[in-house]
Structure 1
């Protein structure tokens, strides 16, 4: 059996809004890599509104990027990934999100024996998602420059 893990990232949730520039995408990548510390062979899936996809691809090549459309579009794309036989293919799943929409599926995957680790900002994490996951990590440390959103 593989020891490979999967990381599902609701990047606009992490960023607090759309990824409007490559600079924002780079900040997100840097911070996420420090926070979740993905292994070199970890399968990384990032979902974002279709308007953010190009900025993400410019600074994070080689990952699976999913374009969402409309309200909850990125969330719905990540939920579909969670239906791709993850317990048979991976030994663990990381989810970066705060959203309650993921609680039922995270609970289901944990119930199938797949360790599920949710990362979120503590003030925003949905209670149901907190209780659904095998493990939860929250951080108050945003660790960014106020000017990161202006970066080109």
Structure 2
């Protein structure tokens, strides 16, 4: 991941979610993208995992071991990976409003069903909007 890639991801996600500086952002990241993500998401918490699903597993650890359901009313998971389905369903069962944000056409059906709301990003449309 380049700094430009990380900056574009932040722009798309921030625009879609209307993020404010008060939001707590936790990013699961692999070691090769750590610097780019850190530069483009100042103030965020980076949790790193290596290997296959390493970043996903690092985020799942946060969701399962840090009492998220006791501390937050809303959680947004930016991933289309089905590995998050059980954690998202568990949060929803605790009354947490869970939104999944994924690239259009890249979201697991199980994850969509587990989430209270799903928002799809279309990078091509977002890029065209930025040109106007």
Q: TM-score if structure 2 supplies the norm length?
A: 0.89
Gaps of 5+ in 2: none
- When residues 62 and 87 of structure 1 are mapped into structure 2, their CA distance, relative to the original with a 3 A threshold, is same
Matched position secondary structure for 1:43:
coil
Q: Give the distance between the partners of 2:36 and 2:104, measured in 1 at CA.
A: 27
The answer to whether 1:56 aligns with 2:37 is yes
Q: How does 1:1-152 map to 2 (within 5 A)?
A: 19=1, 21-83=2-64, 84-142=66-124, 143-144=126-127
| Deviations 1:96-128, CA, capped at 9 Å, x for gaps | 100000001100110011110001123111000
* Offset, 1:64: 0.2
Structure with more contact order per residue of length (Cα contacts < 8 Å, sep ≥ 6)? 1
Gaps of 5+ in 1: 1-18, 146-152
Higher helix share: 2
